[in-house]
């Protein structure tokens, strides 16, 4: 009989999971329905993992929720083996074990009954007795069964120390069956190896394990974590004073002087053990800079290989180039300005050339002319961009095949390495890389190493846009070094001059506040200003645009519109806007599904964006897709991206979020028919000229800025894209560089994320 709601004594409850109402992949907090002998009850608590049909023995208390009624608040739990035919079948059907679906689960349980788990554990070859199970499938089932057992024990261990389920899965994938031993011996290793587990989480585990606050391991971990975080902010290194100050803030010890001294001592130790690299910069005289080795070797490798490439002689038939150029200009439909002609000739006669310039100056047409000239010279040309969307745009503009850089460099998911490098360079005679401003120091290193010394390289990008999401400012550094030939196109073509988007982009890039047409129901311009006095009012304006204005102007509000925000949080950040727009464009249906993941609700038909690089499934940070399916039994969301299909298990849902609104940084390399850009002083910390310039130029047909005039002026006045700590420009200017790429261990792009 169910206890009374006001009883607060710890009680024990046993049953099997009938359904999972809600679970947080990050924290493990779960609401589920438990089938006991007598009835179905609601349980709430933090769980390492739950599967349908899973049998549990719970201890906790009964409480009455003001909204949801009677619930069993779980304090502790342990897993019990399923002990009924129904629970066994439900457990095997849950998707916990690969190779077993609902039909197969029924046949297995029908054959072995209550001995099913014993068969899986100690006599798994007997599964051959079940119709439809071949020997090859038995191996899959056995592997999954062992993995599931190991994962569960590791999750239980990590949950004790506050690590949620999604992170626990990453820990298991990284460490395997040694996970518990590794974490117990050095919990700070988690901060180094697992994306999403920071220093504070590892520090909490260390405290529970009895590691002292002044331990050397803690200080070393804090130093390394500070540099990793700096890398995520775009820096390749930190000056000593900055590194010490940030590490001290992280450690938060009361005796600042003693703490600073110990930090400096441990920095010396980390340099001695080659976990840090130290270097003095000409840009920052007298100041030592500290690198994580991966960042140091990437910079060194780029500079070394690029200088070798630039020094390699190139034989050119100048008469052929000039004759072809003249004939092309006379016969082609694509007119070229004088500076564009110079760019074509320069690219044809130099090993490496950078082509830069703002919107509407003809970078794409110039690139196409260069490619046609190279092909006329009998050369094999390869075209690539950092992202799939940018590669497709390059292909459309040049009318030739283009790929992502990862595909061009033959990234191997199994090993985590690029298969193309200086020992096995790209076969193409000429390589074109577009949207190069998006390329971080690691991807640039992989590319440069893979370019043969007998090949030519054309780098195309807008240096005034935001730098890469990853570390470095490679395009800017290459240009500032003055070691690589650069052509900057400046002439805005007549057809582009009719676009207010392009004209305003150039104006704000010069620091001018453009006169943007005020929004009306009959706009004459492709760039409009909708004034709004507050973030709350801005949300209302966006709602009006989505439901009324955009459709009236002939655009599809779901497919054509992208909202681009400065920030994720806040009253008018991406989170708040996504919730509002989802309710407008994809509201809940009576017969539809809805699942909760952290603070987000996912529905079939939702637009989503990938939040991190997943090399195993070839879906990259910033890729946009649509949720097409949901397998409730296995708790798997199926997402269709432009080029491929990806299935996300529940523990992987934190890899994506709603994408009706995304940040301007996530939109790099992409174009959308219509963009809506909220500009409010609430987001002033992220407003800058490079951000606004990049964001404005994402619109192909219509850009609508919604917000406060002072926020627009603030963005334009802040021309400070925060200067990143890099030394690539200096390295290129040095007379001699000792080649280091041959011994560089950082060929694996995965290493860059740590």
Final residue belonging to a domain, choices 477, 493, 509: 493
Q: What is the pLDDT of residues 401-423, one digit of tens each?
A: 999 999 999 988 777 789 999 99
Q: Please state, in angstroms and rounded to a whole number, the distance separating the CA atoms of residues 493 and 495.
A: 6
Instruction: Confirm whether 728 is domain-assigned.
Output: no
CA 719, 724, 728, 731 torsion-angle sign: positive
26 is annotated as contributing to ligand binding: no
Q: What is the CATH number of the domain that holds 50?
A: 2.40.50.140
Of 543, 538, 563, 533, nearest to 663 (Cα)?
563
Of 452, 443, 442, nearest to 421 (Cα)?
452
Q: What is the CATH number of the domain that holds 177?
A: 1.10.10.2220
Q: What is the pLDDT of residues 182-205, one digit of tens each?
A: 888 889 988 888 877 888 888 988
Least confident of 426-440, 624-638, 639-653, 739-753: 739-753
Least confident of 408-412, 468-472, 590-594, 691-695: 590-594
What confidence tier does 598 reach under pLDDT thresholds 50, 70, 90? low
364 is annotated as contributing to ligand binding: yes
Instruction: Confirm whether 190 is domain-assigned.
Output: yes
- Pair (613, 696) in one structural domain: yes
- Pair (592, 669) in one structural domain: yes
DSSP symbol at 449: H
What confidence tier does 739 reach under pLDDT thresholds 50, 70, 90? very low
Q: What is the CATH number of the domain that holds 593?
A: 3.40.50.300
Instruction: Confirm whether 254 is domain-assigned.
Output: yes
- Pair (281, 312) in one structural domain: no
Least confident of 423-437, 579-593, 665-679: 579-593
Q: Please state, in angstroms and rounded to a whole number, the distance separating the CA atoms of residues 706 and 536.
A: 12
Q: What is the pLDDT of residues 331-359, one digit of tens each?
A: 877 778 889 999 999 999 999 999 999 98
The pLDDT, as a whole number, for residue 746 is: 41
Contacts of 229 (CB under 8 A, 6+ apart): 246
pLDDT at 282 over 70: no
- Pair (606, 634) in one structural domain: yes
The pLDDT, as a whole number, for residue 744 is: 39
- Pair (484, 550) in one structural domain: no
Classify the phi-psi angles of 658: left when phi > 0, otherwise alpha if psi is within -120 to 50, otherwise beta: beta
- Pair (450, 564) in one structural domain: no
DSSP symbol at 683: G
Show the domain range for 465.
300-493
Q: What is the layout of strands, in order, in the sheet containing 486-489? A: 403-404, 381-385, 430-433, 456-460, 352-357, 486-489
What confidence tier does 711 reach under pLDDT thresholds 50, 70, 90? very high
- 89 and 106 Cβ atoms separated by less than 8 Å: yes
Instruction: Confirm whether 739 is domain-assigned.
Output: no
- Pair (286, 331) in one structural domain: no
Instruction: Confirm whether 200 is domain-assigned.
Output: yes
Domains held by the chain: number: 5
Of 426, 467, 471, nearest to 449 (Cα)?
426
Token pair listed for 87: 């629970």
What confidence tier does 381 reach under pLDDT thresholds 50, 70, 90? very high
pLDDT, greater one: 18 or 748: 18
- Pair (67, 19) in one structural domain: yes
Instruction: Confirm whether 636 is domain-assigned.
Output: yes
Instruction: Confirm whether 154 is domain-assigned.
Output: no
Least confident of 117-131, 156-170, 519-533: 156-170
- Pair (71, 112) in one structural domain: no
363 is annotated as contributing to ligand binding: yes
Instruction: Confirm whether 155 is domain-assigned.
Output: no
Final residue belonging to a domain, choices 291, 322, 343: 291
575 is annotated as contributing to ligand binding: no
- Pair (434, 513) in one structural domain: no
- Pair (238, 91) in one structural domain: no
- Pair (473, 398) in one structural domain: yes
Final residue belonging to a domain, choices 291, 318, 333: 291
pLDDT, greater one: 76 or 139: 139
Q: What is the pLDDT of residues 224-268, one digit of tens each?
A: 999 999 998 899 999 999 999 999 999 987 777 778 899 999 999
Q: What is the pLDDT of residues 629-676, one digit of tens each?
A: 988 767 789 999 887 899 988 778 888 999 999 998 888 888 899 999
360 is annotated as contributing to ligand binding: yes
């Amino acid at each position: 009989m169910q206890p009374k709601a006001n009883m607060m004594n710890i009680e024990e409850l046993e049953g099997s999971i009938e359904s999972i109402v809600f679970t947080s992949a990050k924290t493990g907090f779960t609401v589920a329905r438990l089938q006991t002998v007598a009835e179905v009850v609601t349980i709430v608590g933090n769980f390492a993992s739950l599967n349908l049909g899973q049998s549990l023995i719970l201890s906790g208390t009964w409480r009455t929720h003001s909204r949801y009624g009677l619930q069993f608040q779980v304090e502790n739990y342990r897993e019990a083996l399923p002990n009924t035919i129904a629970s066994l079948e439900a457990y095997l059907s849950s998707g916990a074990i690969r190779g077993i679906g609902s039909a197969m689960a029924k046949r297995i349980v029908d054959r072995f009954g209550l001995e099913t788990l014993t068969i899986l554990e100690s006599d798994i070859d007997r599964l051959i007795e079940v119709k439809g199970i071949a020997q090859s499938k038995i191996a899959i089932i056995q592997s999954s069964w062992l993995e599931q057992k190991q994962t569960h024990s590791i999750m239980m261990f990590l949950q004790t120390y506050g690590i949620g389920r999604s992170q626990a899965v990453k820990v298991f994938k990284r460490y395997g069956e040694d996970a518990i031993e590794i974490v117990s011996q050095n919990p700070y290793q988690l901060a180094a190896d697992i994306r999403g587990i920071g220093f504070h989480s590892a520090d909490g585990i260390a405290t529970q394990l009895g590691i002292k606050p002044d331990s050397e391991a803690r200080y070393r971990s804090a130093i390394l974590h500070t540099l990793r975080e700096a890398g995520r902010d775009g820096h390749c290194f930190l000056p000593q004073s900055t590194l010490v100050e940030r590490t001290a803030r992280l450690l938060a010890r009361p005796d600042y002087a003693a703490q600073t001294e110990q930090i400096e001592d441990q920095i010396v130790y980390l340099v001695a053990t080659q976990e840090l690299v130290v270097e003095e910069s000409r840009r920052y005289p007298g100041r030592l800079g500290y690198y994580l080795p991966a960042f140091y070797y990437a910079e060194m490798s780029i500079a070394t290989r690029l200088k070798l490439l630039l020094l390699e002689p190139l034989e050119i038939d100048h008469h052929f180039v000039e004759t072809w150029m003249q004939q092309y200009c006379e016969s082609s439909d694509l007119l070229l300005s004088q500076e564009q002609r110079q760019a074509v000739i320069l690219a044809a006669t130099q090993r490496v050339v950078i082509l830069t310039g703002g919107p509407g100056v003809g970078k794409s047409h110039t690139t196409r002319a260069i490619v046609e000239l190279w092909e006329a010279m009998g050369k094999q040309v390869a075209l690539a961009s950092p992202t799939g969307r940018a590669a497709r745009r390059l292909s459309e503009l040049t009318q030739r095949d283009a790929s992502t850089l990862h595909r061009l460099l033959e990234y191997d998911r199994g090993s985590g390495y690029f298969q193309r490098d200086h020992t096995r360079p790209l076969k193409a005679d000429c390589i074109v890389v577009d949207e190069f401003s998006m390329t971080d120091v690691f991807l640039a290193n992989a590319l440069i190493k893979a370019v043969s010394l007998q090949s030519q390289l054309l780098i195309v990008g807008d240096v005034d846009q935001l730098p890469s999401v990853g570390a470095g400012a490679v395009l800017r550094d290459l240009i500032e070094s003055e070691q690589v030939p650069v052509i900057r196109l400046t002439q805005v073509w007549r057809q582009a001059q009719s676009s207010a988007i392009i004209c305003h982009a150039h104006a704000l890039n010069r620091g001018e506040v453009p006169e943007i047409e005020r929004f009306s129901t009959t706009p004459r311009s492709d760039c409009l200003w909708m004034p709004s006095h507050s973030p709350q009012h801005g949300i209302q304006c966006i709602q009006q645009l989505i439901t009324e204005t955009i459709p009236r102007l002939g655009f599809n509000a779901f497919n054509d519109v992208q909202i681009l925000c400065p920030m994720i949080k806040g009253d008018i950040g991406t989170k708040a806007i996504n919730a509002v727009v989802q309710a407008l464009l994809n509201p809940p249906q009576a017969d539809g599904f809805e699942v909760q993941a952290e603070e987000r609700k996912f529905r079939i038909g939702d637009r989503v964006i990938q939040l991190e690089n997943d090399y195993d499934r070839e879906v990259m940070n910033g890729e946009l897709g649509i949720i097409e399916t949901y397998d409730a039994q296995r708790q798997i969301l199926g997402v269709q991206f432009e080029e491929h299909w990806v299935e996300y298990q529940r523990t992987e849902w934190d890899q994506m979020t709603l994408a009706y609104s995304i940040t301007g940084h996530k939109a790099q390399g992409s174009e959308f028919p219509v963009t809506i850009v909220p500009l409010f002083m609430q987001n002033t910390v992220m407003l800058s000229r490079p951000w606004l310039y990049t964001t404005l130029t994402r619109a192909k047909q219509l850009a609508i800025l919604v917000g406060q005039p002072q926020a627009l002026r603030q963005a334009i006045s802040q021309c400070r894209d925060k200067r990143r700590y890099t030394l690539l420009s200096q390295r290129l200017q040095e007379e001699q560089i000792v080649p280091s790429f041959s011994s560089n261990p950082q060929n694996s792009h995965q290493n860059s994320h740590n």
